Chains A and B, each alone.
Chain A
Amino acid sequence: MELKLPIYLDNNATTPMDPRVLEAMLPYFVEKFGNAASRNHSFGWVAEEAVDYAREQVAKLINADPKEIIFTSGATESDNLALKGVYEMYSSKGNHIITCTTEHKAVLDTCKHLEKQGAEITYLEVQADGLVDLNELEKAIKPETILIAIMYGNNEIGVIQPVKEISKIARKHGVLFFTDGTQAVGKIPVDVQADGIDLMAFSGHKMYGPKGVGALYVRRKNPRVKVTAQMDGGGHERGMRSGTLNVPSLVGFGKACEICMNEMESEAKRLSKMRDRLENALMQLEESYRNGNKEHRLPHTANISFKYVEGEGLMMGFNKDIAVSSGSACTSASLEPSYVLKALGLGDDLAHSSLRFGLGRFTTDEQIDYTIKAVTDTVNKLREMSPLWEMFKEGVDINAIEWAHH
């Protein structure tokens, strides 16, 4: 195949929409524009039918009942609804929630918000490979605990948490288990029954569907879970999330789920093979470090630190042609490098030196070859320019130098 530029390797941030998804959506803008809540005419019925079908497609992907799917505007909203909704609904049972330090900001900042409302939150530290320690998790449970919120797959390093084991612990103690499945759903088999999940957030735009649409899975049986609505109004989504449904986007979301379901097995194999090839080639570079557990991880994500070069400077060497992301603080407005990498115990210097590669459905072998060469060349070039690399090569102990911190 011919090499296609520019190369998009930031699929953990968002995925391009699959043309098949767009095609499914198109009739629902102009022709079939009805409000799914209009019960009295065919415009409404057509829209409702489309939403029902989408709900089935979405439910099927995670082995849920369609009635257990609450449509939202995306994973951020689903995270908010799960945490705030459970906190409010179960306030008579307790006020304690357990989560971990590598969660997405949509979870962490919602927890911060709940703390101000009187919640007690335990932020579990993760191990050096990014996984939570199940003993620590169980030890953190107390009589006031109402919820465990641990993500399925991490967006920065791709590690997959031991969801089944976590849910067993939650069950044993009569605590609900919520997982942010945004990066995992559609990429690897996620089965809310087998995994014992009570609530799960996920999003259309991470699985080749449209942006601004997502879902919260809320278990209806064993146990029946309820959340307090955070959006009041017409009582849509069984009262848990009011607001006129975004029919075209939901049609697209459903189609995206269906495609993921059909292609997941072969696609995960294809991606992990390419990812491993990319990673193995880049790990050939001296002083490069893989971040996160190597076995328990998403097939499409690699996160590598190239010591003695800075991430943003590194990306600049090829970002005309290749889009990746970095844990470097220089890429953000804050001066702090990635909190996820720091939670693994990485020093700031290694966190600043990291790149995240997120492969996707449209990534090709030719693009991986090109990326390997471009990243390798740029790392080598920047190391020639790096005073730290020179010191390292001369055997100077960089940690012994008294740096002026700001």
Chain B
Amino acid sequence: MAYSEKVLDHYTNPQNVGTLDKAKQNVGTGLVGAPECGDVMRLQIEVDEASGLIKDAKFKTFGCGSAIASSSLATEWLKGKTVDQALAIDNMDIVEELNLPPVKIHCSVLAEDAIKAAINDYRVKNGLPELVLEQKAH
């Protein structure tokens, strides 16, 4: 199976690889997947308290090229959005943007899960109720 141009691009030049200080009040961390499943994604957001905008996002991913590309793309999309706007990111948007084939849809689901987990972590840290999320099929 050949990879799409965009997946290759993100894989070769991943955006926003790195680590934010998870102890900070305004940083939310999402860690999803499992080593046994062959994919683990950690996605972090840093929220600017004054504006409510996500000012930084970082990821680290253990997984296939599509998983790496999905998380790289997710961090790009997150920056500059409000937390509520970020919640609206759907895995199918990622599938479309990266041209993922059906067998790689679960890599995009993982990215959406990671975004939501990071947002929930941020919410809980800041005294907001945790959101109950629908489970998507992997």
Where chain B touches its partner, the secondary structure class is: mixed
Contact, CB under 8 Å: A388 / B35: yes
Question: Is A333 part of the contact surface with B, judged by Cβ < 8 Å?
Answer: yes
Write the chain A residue with the least CB distance to B36: A348
Contact, CB under 8 Å: B11 / A316: yes
Q: From B14, B34, B65, give the contact of A405 (CB < 8 A).
A: B34
Q: From B8, B17, B41, B63, give the contact of A330 (CB < 8 A).
A: B63
158-215 of chain A: CB within 8 A of chain B: none
Question: Is A390 part of the contact surface with B, judged by Cβ < 8 Å?
Answer: yes
- Please, what's the 1-or-0 string for B79-119, where 1 marks a CB less than 8 Å from any CB in chain A? 00000000000000000000000010000000000000000
Q: From B35, B61, B63, give the contact of A398 (CB < 8 A).
A: B35
Whole-angstrom distance between the Cβ of B88 and the nearest chain A Cβ: 22
Q: From B35, B36, B64, give the contact of A316 (CB < 8 A).
A: B64
Known: A310-B39, A388-B35, A404-B32. A333 touches B61 (CB 8 A): no
Question: Is A253 part of the contact surface with B, judged by Cβ < 8 Å?
Answer: no
Q: Chain A contacts of B36 at CB under 8 A?
A: 347-349, 352, 403, 405
Q: From B17, B31, B38, B65, give the contact of A384 (CB < 8 A).
A: B17
Q: From B33, B38, B62, give the contact of A348 (CB < 8 A).
A: B38
Counted as pairs of residues, one from A and one from B, with CB atoms less than 8 Å apart, the total is 86
Q: Chain A contacts of B61 at CB under 8 A?
A: 385-387
Q: From B31, B60, B65, give the contact of A312 (CB < 8 A).
A: B65
Question: Is A304 part of the contact surface with B, judged by Cβ < 8 Å?
Answer: no
Q: Chain B contacts of A347 at CB under 8 A?
A: 35-36
Known: A384-B17, A404-B32. A316 touches B65 (CB 8 A): yes
Write the chain A residue with the least CB distance to B60: A387
Contact, CB under 8 Å: B62 / A386: yes
Whole-angstrom distance between the Cβ of A123 and the nearest chain B Cβ: 23
262-313 of chain A: CB within 8 A of chain B: 308-313
Top-10 shortest CB links A-B: A403-B34, A348-B36, A352-B38, A316-B65, A349-B35, A387-B42, A387-B60, A330-B64, A312-B64, A406-B138
Can you identify 11 A-B contacts, CB atoms within 8 angstroms?
A310-B38, A310-B64, A310-B67, A316-B8, A316-B64, A347-B36, A349-B38, A385-B14, A387-B40, A387-B60, A403-B36
